[in-house]
Every structure is written in structure tokens, then in C-alpha cells.
Structure 1
Amino acid sequence: MIRIRSLTKSFGALQVLKGVDLDVHRGEVVSLIGASGSGKSTLLRCINGLEDPETGLIEVDGALMGRELRGGRIHEVSPRRARAQRAEVGMVFQSFHLFGHRTVLENVMLAPRHVRRVSRDAARSAAMEQLERVGLADKAGNYPRQLSGGQQQRVAIARALCMRPTVMLFDEPTSALDPELVGEVLDVIKDIAADGATMIIVTHELAFARDVSDQVVFLHHGTILESGPPEQLFGAPRHERTRAFLQRFTGTD
């Protein structure tokens, strides 16, 4: 479903991604772990087109993201085509990015109405379906300020799901939450994973990554140092830096 080859990205003199290769199969849940600054969030932003990589290719469901092959050469796609491609990649950020002057229902309806161009009735029906899915149908008429942080993040998840994306990306979805609110968001993500969604999750919640992932990827200084099924990576990591990272975050040998 996702194929990444030789991906590089720099910000000025700082090279953040250094030739990343990654495959994510349909229905697979992949967790990206690693220290802050290792390139995890930048990798997600390249996949959904918020950042333009310098070199390398990204394919989502067989289509090159931001590029197309014409006349035997690769060219950048038009802005309109790029927007259509990004609509296939759902993104949930650390911060909720909800519109404070719109109700919960209006926030979730907005993208289907203006990006997918669906009717108001269809957008409303889809929005209520997703709010029901995240357990917030009864909050449809509320404004974001009337919700807890965990509820706001669940609204943001419903908003992304309402676009019916091909893949879902989560960028540290619990990092802005108080500890007692983390569980409710992780439970929603687990439910989405159980439904067979293709997902990449950047997270520092290592127990969650171990529980929900088909594959765990450890990034270090812009490269994939190690990857594998959770029982292998957490139980018998091959690289010393992976072992040191896990020991620091879990307090175990």
C-alpha cells in the first residue's frame, strides 16, 4: 500500500531523512519509534505531501505521490492533482487543529464538503457515522472549547476518517494530552486498526506500539536502523542503539 524508496529531506544544512526505504502492506499497522529529531514526523509529512522530499519516491496504492511518469520521465503533478492525492492520506496531528468557531459536526463535515464535494446531507451522514465510531455522536452540537483534550483528538480522528482515506497517518496523537486522557484516544486507534485500516503511527507509547503493530520501525538520525515484528524488535533487538533507546524509555534491560 505504501512504498518508499531512497527518501531524503533536508531543512537548510540539516539533513533529516537520509535515504529511507519502507514498505507498508495493505491492512498493516506500522509504528515509528525513535528519539525526538530522528525524522519520524518529517517522514509522515513527506508521505502526505506536506513536505516535498529532495530525492526518492513515495507510492500510495500504486500512485506516485506528488509525481507522475510522462514520456519516460518523472514530473511534478499539478497542484490540483497533488491536492487530490493528499485527500487519500488521512492525517491526525499532535495538536487537534479544530476550528473553534464551528461545532464538532461542522468540523467533521468540512473536508468532505469542500474537498470531496459531497452534498451537505451526505457529509452530515458520514460525519455522524464517524462521530458515532469514536464515541462522540452526542457531542455533535458542541464546540471544541466544550470538550476535553481527548475528546478533541477523537473529533480530529473522526474528521480524518470522514474523508475515507486510503491510509491513515498518526503523528504522536497523544503527546498533547494529559496522561489520564491518553487511553481513550489509543482505544479508538486500536478499534480502527482492528477494522483492517492501513496505518502508520508515530508514537512514544511503546506498550501501545507493541500491542497494536504488525511492524515496528526504529528511526535514528534520519535512517531506519532496525525494523521487524514487535515481538522481535522489543524482545530481541539486534542493534545496540535500539536496545539503549528501549531501555531508556522502559527502564528495563
Structure 2
Amino acid sequence: MSILERFRIDREVALVTGATGGLGTAIAIALAEAGANVACHGHSREADETCERIRDLGRMAYSFSADLSDISQAERLYREVQARMGAPCILVNNAGILHRQAAEHFDAAMWSRVLDVNLTSAFRLSQLAGSAMLERGRGKIINIASLLAFQGGSEVPAYAASKAALTQLTRALANEWGARNLQVNAISPGFFRTAHTEELRKDETLSRQIVDRIPAARWGEPEDLAGAVVFLASRASDYVNGEVLVVDGGWRTR
């Protein structure tokens, strides 16, 4: 098999959570361009739009909705994808929410909701998908973390805690499942143009300070994540396990 063939994921079923704009849409489309059929989770209208773009590529795509702050809905999501498209052999845990509030006033209900969506649902979906992958004898799980897995940030304690925990979950699952040909890795995006960074980008002074620190001298575009995702979803990464791949334009080198 040539190296380019190793990057192909033809006819594989991929489940992408949060596939409704920004990074999620870019991830879903990249996987489809590499050959996968994609289950797009998210709000119905946006997920439907992502699916239409994937179908234009000649791949199968269906949209699925679920509130991932409720673990029972995470389970329902997986069962519906399995019933309609088959058991996913690629899982991308991309769904995430962010709540900004000073730590001393941080709302307890929002703390729980952020951790449930960003961490607990990722674990439950990994359990379900991982079990089927282990039976099949192969699989790929990719968790979308954040630079805040390494840095505490400001006024985002729940988000930072959830993303740091997600990287440790990645390593823990990789330790248990790696010998059974199931690779679990994470990607930590830097400063990308997404809804989560809209407030930062509106502040011209802060935005300039951020860009000035990035060696690439620009904000990341969602499509900049495509190569990393396809690599970790494909056979090209069969000996990569438990890694946290930082895609940040060089931010952490400064």
C-alpha cells in the first residue's frame, strides 16, 4: 500500500459530534474528502447543511441531533448512527461548549453542563464506539481538545478543566486499547476563527496581541485542521497512539 493510499478511508463510517459549523464542519468534510461516509451530529439545520456538502462529494451523510449534556442522549445518538449507517470505525469527539464567568462567581449548573458535554459524553461515546471497534479489530478515536488543556486561560475554568481532562482520557484509553489495534489520539487547536473566539477577535487590541505571538502570523482557519484529522483517522497513523497533536500555528513555541 502506497503512502497516499494509507491516507484513504474509503467507505469507513465516521461519527463527528458538533459537526455544525467551524471546526466540526471542516472535520466532517475532510473525512468525506478522504473517502468516509459521515454521521453529522448537531443542530438539525446546520448538520443538514454539512450533510448536503458531503453528499455533493459523492459520500453518504446523515444528520443526528442529541443534547450531549445528557448521557442517555449520547447513548441514543450512538445507537441511531449504528442502526442507520453501521457501527462507526472513526469517532471524532468534537462537540464542546464554553461558558465565560469569573471563577468566584462561576455558576455550578454551568460547570456541570460544560463537563458533561465536553468530557462525559466523549467518554461514553468512546465506550460505545470503542467496544464495537475492539470487536472488529481496528478503529480510530480522535478527541478535540484545546490549547487550554495546557494553559488555564481566564474566566473559563470549566472549559479548561474539561479539555485538560480530555487529554488525560485520551492517554488512558490509548493505554488500554492500543495493543488491540484501536488508536486514541487528541488534537489541540490553537486560535481558530470559530464561534468560541468571536469575542476575542472583536477586540482589535487583543486580537492583534494574539496574532503577534503566533509565528504563522494569522488566526487558524477551520480547514487548517483537516490534514491532522485525516492523518489520525487513517492507517497512516497506525503507530501513533495516545498523542496530543497541537495545531496552533506555532503559538506554544513562543
> TM over 0.5: same fold?
no
Q: TM-score range by the shorter chain?
A: 0.3 to 0.5
Q: Which one has a larger percent helix, Structure 1 or Structure 2?
A: 2
Tell me: higher relative CO, structure 1 or 2? Use CA pairs within 8 A at least 6 residues apart: 1
Q: TM-score, normalised by structure 2?
A: 0.35
Higher radius of gyration, 1 or 2? 1
